[in-house]
Structure 1
Amino acid sequence: MSELSNELFKTFNQVIHRYRHYYGMQFSTDHRSVSQIRILKQLNSENGQIQRVLAERLDIRPSSLSECLHKLAAKHYIERQSDDHDRRITHVFITATGRTILTEALDGHDEFTETLFGSLTHQEQQALNELLNKLETTLSDTQNFDFMSEFNKRRSQTKL
């Protein structure tokens, strides 16, 4: 089983690497990043968020968010406004231009996923989705899956 697990892990890593490469290329030609699109998407669903809250919801370091917001503002995709009651608080708003860019990106995302999964039948897509959900559940269940504990236990069992 270990050889097959290693082969699965290798293949899975290759798929993730290629996915990131090609999906990232979709945005790099227009000098956008996946992070910038994530920010626009979040703002489109809830406009006027406070920077701190936006960073928390996107799980981005505040310094990284500030850098992305600076780039988005320079392209006129977002506007930042100080809070009327507390000038230390900044609200972030998506602009009409930002919405247009987001729509283009989401359309591109749909084309990308159709191309990526187009080689699979509907049944294969469903099966892959179920298997990936099972892996995601395993990884997210930190209460029942302590990776380091499992790793150390298996390593001690295989020592010569």
Structure 2
Amino acid sequence: MQEFTIFEIIHNMDKVTNNLIIQWNKVFNNDLGVSHVLVLGHLKAHGKSRPSDMAKVLGLTPPTVTHLTEKLVKRQLITRSTDENDRRIFYLEITADGEKVLKEAHESGQKLRKNLFEKLTEEERQQMLQIYKKLNG
């Protein structure tokens, strides 16, 4: 039996993830990347949010969030509003169109993951689930 190193495991996990992202970009075909969808998802889950708070939660830099949100505002997938008490502070909020795009992105991702995991037997899927639960615990 071949012995795997931690680096081989990480490398193969990264390959699967990168492959999924590449396939998702082809299928979703909406001129938005995974990071844009993460921003939309955050706004859907948490409601109106400050960009700096979003950056912390998503593990992105504030300039990255600014760059991502500019495109989303231009496409009218999110709106920007200022704080009533302090005009220096502004908030972002997802629009109905943004929710539709988010739903399409999730459906595309689910379809890809379903196709990917159908390659595994039921026993292998159960093993994988247990492994991920253990790693996340």
1:121 equivalent in structure 2: 121
2:19 equivalent in structure 1: 18
2:107 equivalent in structure 1: 107
Letter in 1 for 2:16: V
1: CA distance, partners of 2:11 / 2:54: 35
Unpaired stretches in structure 1, ≥5 consecutive residues:
138-160
2:49 equivalent in structure 1: 49
Letter in 2 for 1:20: I
Structure 1 position 88 matched with structure 2 position 88: yes
2: CA distance, partners of 1:80 / 1:25: 29
With a CA cutoff of 8 Å and minimum separation of 6, indicate the structure with the bigger relative contact order: 2
Percent of matched pairs sharing the same residue: 26
Residue 135 and residue 50 in structure 1: after superposition, are their counterparts in 2 closer, same or farther (change >3 A)? same
1:63 equivalent in structure 2: 63
Moved more, 87-96 or 112-121: 112-121
Residue 39 and residue 11 in structure 1: after superposition, are their counterparts in 2 closer, same or farther (change >3 A)? closer
1: CA distance, partners of 2:89 / 2:83: 5
Post-superposition Cα deviations, 1:92-111, rounded to whole Å, max 9, x if no partner, equal: 01011101111111111111
Moved more, 122-131 or 61-70: 122-131
The structure with more radius of gyration: 1
1: CA distance, partners of 2:10 / 2:113: 22
Unpaired stretches in structure 2, ≥5 consecutive residues:
none
Which secondary structure does the structure 1 equivalent of 2:4 belong to? helix
Which secondary structure does the structure 1 equivalent of 2:3 belong to? helix
Shift of residue 21 of structure 1? 2.3
Q: Give the length in aligned residue pairs.
A: 135
Give the alignment's Cα RMSD to 1 decimal. 2.1
1: CA distance, partners of 2:35 / 2:48: 18
What's the TM-score once normalised by structure 2's chain length? 0.86
